[in-house]
Structure formats: C-alpha cells, structure tokens
Amino acid sequence: MRWLYEKRVPLGQKSYEKLKTGNYYVVDKSLMIKDYLDKGNEVTLITRPRRFGKTINMSMMADFFDITKDSKELLRILKS
C-alpha cells in the first residue's frame, strides 16, 4: 500500500508543527524569519496573495519565537 509511506501534499494544513511532523511535502521558508529580523520593522502586514502560506508562516514564527517551546527540531533546515 504505497500511500502508507509516501509523503502527502498538505492540503488545508494550517499548523507548521503538523506540517513538519506529519510526513508532508514541505517548502522550507525558515529563512523568512531571518529576513524579518534583518529588516527590523515594527509591524509587517501581509494581506495577499490568497493561499500563499500566510497562516503557516505565522505558525512557523510563533513556534520559533515561543520561549516555552524547543523549536530546534521543527526549524531544522530541510535537506531535501
């Protein structure tokens, strides 16, 4: 049964943690955090485009900046 071990497309997924731990195809956007820190803006507004990954990116940053969480594994740069 091929579907048991093949990676899945994360349709409708909204949680970065589930995306990284759920055997999904993942586009690594973790360097976006560096961009935000480098720019040093107080506020960033991203209203579009639709289905761009805004919610998942916010979830990724929430995991990164949450000092009560150890996000080292979650934020590990992907090799493939």
Ligand X SMILES: Nc1ncnc2c1ncn2[C@@H]1O[C@H](COP(=O)(O)OP(=O)(O)OP(=O)(O)O)[C@@H](O)[C@H]1O
- Separation CA 54–CA 44 (nearest Å): 12
Tell me the window of 25-33, 34-42, 69-77 that interacts with ligand X (CB under 6 A). Answer: 25-33
Q: Give the largest CA-CA distance in the chain.
A: 50
User: Which residue among 55, 66, 69, 76 contacts Mg ion (CB under 5 A)?
Assistant: 55
Does position 61 interact with ligand X (CB under 6 A)? The reply is no
User: Which residue among 15, 17, 26, 71 contacts ligand X (CB under 6 A)?
Assistant: 26
Asked if residues 36 and 77 have their Cβ atoms less than 8 Å apart, the reply is no
Residues 1-20 that bind ligand X (CB under 6 A): 10-14
